[in-house]
Chain A
Amino acid sequence: MTDLQEFRAETRAWLEENCPKEMRQPMSEADVCWGGRNWVFQSKAQEQWLERMAARGWTVPTWPEAYGGAGLSGDEDRVLKEEMARISARPPLQSFGIWMLGPALLEFGSEEQKRHYLPQIARGEVRWCQGYSEPGAGSDLASLQTKGVDCGEYFEVSGQKIWTSYADKADWIFCLVRTEPEAAKHKGISFLLFDMTSPGVSTSPIQLISGSSPFCETFFDSVKVPKDQIVGERGTGWTIAKYLLTHEREMIGATDSALFGSDDLVEVARDALGVDDQGRLDDPILRGRIADFLIDEIAFDAELARAKSWIRAGKQLGAESATLKYTGTELNKRRQELIMAAGGLAALEWDFADAAGDEKASLWLRSKGNSIEGGTSEVMLSILSKAALELG
């Protein structure tokens, strides 16, 4: 047996033994375990599953063991994911810490910072949010104005962020702050980490069209941030921010709604519309649109698989993350449009005041944000036309 086969056999046995039955089912957005200081586990099984996986370093399998991971190779990580998928095991933990901050800290953090922050992320003890966008700085993120004044031992941070997802639930924030007001736009930004319970931080939720209120306005009024909570050098925040965004974009591009138990388009269409005497969907024009979509979706799956194999081989995706982000999010919007069309009148039954998040209408409405969050589709195309095509 090769090492990898051996790893697979061990992994399979361990998962069989340790993954609670309740954690072997498709999940909806409401079933996600985000962790954090105030996290209330939805079940004993959810708690056990997180504890057991975290103890093995398998919430962040490829991170080094010293930082709470398991130091798995790319191939071992793939095997673990395959074995989890085999028994429909849910991810034990999801978080901005895992997807975004972690990779940035691994690249730019000091040794102390890595040893301090990363294991807390891996164990689901601290939940993070992302303080990038401001009312005046969206696509033009580098024009951000939240300021951090040097007060010797600490920076004093004042200003406002917006669209901060889960700011009201998060424990800490990774935040872009202008600390060098004299420097050029991109050179005056620092990447700060601070506790959301610090005096001077307040949040106010914003309701989305999909009913839920996952994101907030976030206000900073003279928040004291100790100097050792800066990642990298002063004024290098933009580089770190961009690096983190490539990971965010990969993640958004790779997340299909299946992660959140979205209905399968083919099933919805068959159940709602039925088939004719030839066994074809009883709506030939919608059938054509679905076929067209599925071709694109399967082709994109091949592209994602290729990108993942590149990542496993140690390649940084760079601008290619914009391709995945753009293609994946535009596809998901199309998928949700088609699910609504296939669901027809029945898909309209939905209560704004009591939306669970996994109804067709909720997912349809929420998907519209996919091509905005993490950088809009237009921004992705601009990045690609410059970085990949050298136009302009």
Chain B
Amino acid sequence: MRLMSEEQTMIRDMAAGFLDEKAPVDALRKQRDSGGGYDRALMGEMADMGWFGMLLDEESGGVDMGAEAAGLVAEEMGRRLSASPFLSSGVMSAVVLRATGGADWAAKLASGEAVVAMAIDERVKHRPDAIATTAEKSGNGFVLNGAKRFVSDGAGADRVIVTAMTEDGLGLFLVDPGLEGVQSRALKTVDSRDAADLRFDNVQLDGAALLAMGDAAQEALDGALRVGRAVASAEMVGVSKEMAERTNAYLKERKQFGIALSNFQALQHRAADLYTQIQTTDAAVAAALRAIDEGSDDAELLSRVAKAKAGKTASLAVREALQMHGGIGMTDALDIGLFMKKARACAEYLGDGECHGDWLLRQRGL
């Protein structure tokens, strides 16, 4: 599937209009001051617009619009730091559930009735293949043991998709965090979003909890990571563009030495360099999203390149924004700090430049 440019504009405008009203940066600030996380009622409204079903088919209550559409929404979210479990539940878990036939929970997350998080990481750096968590067969079901860290939107999740090793290789399990033996510790994070550490001590799972095993599980997980990376990258493009635009506006407005800062070439050139970086990143992210929708062989490579590049660019954008605003950039009252925190978290989550650069070089025999 490929969106026409009018469709793209429509999705973008709709998202921008809605988020301007309901989830601007101030909403995140308020959420932070009242403990962080996201507003569940607002999530319901997003779901009503179809956002949580963009990657699901119609039988599961989805609208099946593809990764490109999700990327457009994510970019607008990035511009406003809109908080919701869109990426974890609406994108990544949706992709897993679609691939593994988890239609009932897919429908619940698409409607906004439920939040389904992904529990992948066990270390401080993203290594989705480093899994110490185990699921041992027991009767019809499994016994789950292990720990997952930094589960995004894990604290408020109704279900968590857990990666665990079984006798037959990788397994994906849909786990109710209310089960006996599950310990969930909500985390306060730099970006004020929902996150949790989860522990599993002899958690008894029934057979229905198993979503997929072996190659099928690996494929479903890879698919979710691929789309997740590309959509997270789009969110970072939103962060980068917003920071660059606000900075350019500030350069025109702020006067020193009797003239606007925008007259100083040292600043013009930094702003222009940032602009070129954002242009390149935007193209790379768009290529990744499209490759995913087209099922192209390059999708894996492009989604990793997009993630690495978008992380670097977002980091540059927030750093340049802060420096070029001077002292006021350091104040919490101005939003730059909030964007900086988001950029840091987003660059780390699902793998940074080193993670994907390492993959790339391995691919090329280095």
Could you say which residues of chain B place their CB within 8 Å of the CB of A305?
283, 287
Bitwise, B259-281 to A at CB < 8 A (1) or not (0) is 00011010111011101100111
Across the interface, do A388 and B275 meet the contact criterion of CB distance under 8 Å? Answer: yes
- Check if A299 sits within 8 Å of B284, measured CB to CB: yes
| Given contacts A302-B283, A303-B280, A290 and B366 within 8 Å (CB-CB) | yes
Which residue from B276, B302, B366 sits with its C-beta under 8 Å from A323?
B276
Main secondary structure of the interface of B (DSSP, over half): helix
Q: Closest Cβ of chain A: how far from B226's Cβ, in Å?
A: 16
Please determine whether B364 and A391 come into contact, CB atoms closer than 8 angstroms: no
> Which single member of B248, B272, B288, B360 contacts A294 (CB below 8 Å)?
B360
Contact at B276–A295, with CB atoms within 8 Å?
Answer: no
- Measured CA separation A288–B276 after assembly (Å): 23
Nearest-neighbour CB distance to chain A for B273, whole angstroms, equals: 6
Q: Are A295 and B360 in contact (CB under 8 A)?
A: yes
Whole-angstrom distance between the alpha carbons of A291 and B268 in the complex?
A: 29
B143 proximal to A (CB < 8 A): no
Q: Taking the nearest CB of chain B, how far is it from the CB of A139, in angstroms?
A: 13
> Which residue of B248, B251, B272, B287 contacts A382 across the interface (Cβ within 8 Å)?
B272
Q: Do B361 and A291 have beta carbons less than 8 Å apart? A: yes
Bound complex: CA of A305 vs CA of B291, how far in Å? 13
Whether B276 and A294, one on each chain, are in contact in the complex, defined by CB atoms closer than 8 angstroms, is: no
| A306 with B360: CB separation less than 8 A | no
A292 CB to nearest B CB, Å: 6
- Are B362 and A295 in contact (CB-based, < 8 A)? no
- B357 CB–A CB distance under 8 Å: yes
Q: Is B312 an interface residue (CB 8 A)?
A: yes
Asked whether A391 lies within 8 Å of B361 as measured between CB atoms, the reply is no
Chain A residues positioned under 8 Å from B24 (CB to CB): none
A259 contacts partner chain B, Cβ-Cβ < 8 Å: no
Interface contact A302-B302, CB-CB below 8 Å: yes
What chain B residues lie within 8 Å of A275 (beta carbons)? Answer: 365-366
Interchain CB contact under 8 A, B366 and A287: yes
Near B by CB (< 8 A), chain A positions 260-305 give 266, 269-270, 275, 279-281, 287-288, 290-292, 294-296, 298-300, 302-303, 305
The interface stretch among B42-50, B164-172, B185-193, B303-311 is: B303-311
Per-position binary interface string of chain A over residues 353-392, scored 1 when its CB falls under 8 Å from any chain B CB and 0 otherwise: 0000000000000000000000000101110110011111
Once the chains are docked, how many angstroms separate the CA of A300 from the CA of B87?
26
Interface: A326 (CB within 8 A)? yes
By beta carbon, the residue of chain A nearest B259 is A392
Q: Name B283's contact: one of A270, A280, A306 (CB within 8 Å).
A: A306
Is A302 touching B366 in the complex (CB atoms < 8 A)? Answer: no
Q: How many angstroms from the CA of A388 to the CA of B245 in the assembled complex?
A: 11
Beta-carbon contact of A384 and B275 below 8 Å: yes
A281 to B269, CA, bound (A): 36
Query: Is B329 located at the chain interface by the 8 A CB criterion?
Result: no
B262 near A391: Cβ-Cβ < 8 Å: yes
Residues on A with beta carbons closer than 8 Å to the beta carbon of B252 = 390-391
Bound together, the chains give a CA A388 to CA B268 distance in angstroms of 11
Whether A327 is near chain B, meaning CB under 8 Å from some CB there, is yes
Q: Is the interface of A mostly helix, strand, loop or mixed?
A: helix
State which residues 225-269 of A face B: CB under 8 Å. 266, 269
Give Cα A198–Cα B302 distance, bound, in whole angstroms.
54
Chain A residues within an 8 Å CB radius of B288: 302
| Docked-complex contact B271 and A287, CB < 8 angstroms | no
Whether A266 pairs with B365 at a CB distance below 8 angstroms is yes
Return B199 CB to nearest CB of chain A, in Å. Answer: 32
Q: Is the CB of B357 within 8 A of A292?
A: yes
Report the bound CA distance from A296 to B283 in whole Å. 12
Interface string of B36-69 (1 = CB under 8 A from A): 0000000000000000000000000000000000
Please give, as numbers and ranges, the residues of chain A lying within 8 Å of B366 by CB-CB distance. 266, 269-270, 275, 279-281, 287, 290
A327-B276 CB under 8 A given contacts A280-B361, A288-B357: yes
A300 to B309 CA separation, bound complex (whole angstroms)? 10
- List chain A residues, Cβ under 8 A from B309: 295-296, 299
Taking CB as reference atom, which chain B residue is nearest A304?
B283
| B25 interfacial by beta-carbon distance below 8 Å | no
B354 is an interface residue with CB less than 8 A from chain A: yes
**A244 CB to nearest B CB, Å:** 22
Given contacts A287-B361, A302-B286, A306-B287, contact A292 B269 (CB under 8 A): no
Chain B residues closer than 8 Å to A378, beta-carbon distance: 269
- Report chain B residues within 8 Å CB of A385: 268-269, 271-272
Given contacts A302-B287, A306-B287, contact A281 B271 (CB under 8 A): no
Q: Are A384 and B287 in contact (CB under 8 A)?
A: no
Q: Are A381 and B262 in contact (CB under 8 A)?
A: no
- B356: CB under 8 A from chain A? yes
Contact among B248, B281, B354, B365 with A391 in the assembled complex (CB-CB below 8 Å): B248
Judge whether A279 and B365 touch: CB under 8 Å. yes
In the complex, which residues of chain A have a beta carbon less than 8 angstroms from the beta carbon of B286? 302, 306
**Does B338 belong to the interface (CB within 8 Å)?**
no
**How many angstroms from the CA of A270 to the CA of B364 in the assembled complex?**
10
In angstroms, Cα B253 to Cα A391, docked, is 11
- Give, as a whole number of angstroms, the nearest-CB distance from B311 to chain A: 10
* Contact status A299-B281, CB under 8 Å: yes
Contacts of A303 in B (CB 8 A): 279-280, 283-284
A390: chain B residues at CB < 8 Å are 248, 252
- Cα separation A277 to B137 with both chains bound (whole Å): 36
Whether B360 and A323, one on each chain, are in contact in the complex, defined by CB atoms closer than 8 angstroms, is: no
A266: nearest residue on chain B (CB-CB)?
B364
Query: What is the CA–CA distance of A389 and B265 in the complex, to the nearest angstrom?
Result: 13
Q: How far is the CA of A125 from the CA of B265 in the complex (A)?
A: 45
Separation of A270 and B280 alpha carbons in the complex (Å): 28
- Asked whether any CB of chain A lies closer than 8 Å to the CB of B11, the reply is no
Residue of B nearest to A273 (CB): B366
The residue of chain B having its C-beta at the shortest distance from the C-beta of A391 within the complex is: B262
Q: B353 at the A/B interface (Cβ < 8 Å)? A: yes
Name A305's closest neighbour in chain B (CB-CB): B287
- Quote the shortest CB–CB distance from B293 to chain A (angstroms): 15
Given A266-B366, A299-B309, A389–B287 Cβ distance below 8 Å?
A: no
Residue B301 is within 8 A (CB to CB) of chain A in the complex:
yes
B358 beta carbon closer than 8 Å to chain A: yes
List 13 additional A-B contacts (Cβ < 8 Å) besides A287-B361, A298-B305: A269-B366, A279-B362, A280-B362, A296-B309, A298-B360, A305-B283, A305-B287, A320-B279, A382-B268, A388-B275, A389-B271, A391-B248, A392-B268
Q: Would you list the 7 A-B pairs with minimal beta carbon distance, nearest first?
A: A291-B357, A299-B284, A385-B268, A303-B283, A302-B287, A384-B272, A381-B272
- Residue pairs across A and B with Cβ atoms less than 8 A apart, 11 shown, are A266-B361, A266-B365, A287-B366, A290-B361, A294-B364, A295-B312, A295-B360, A302-B284, A327-B279, A388-B275, A389-B275
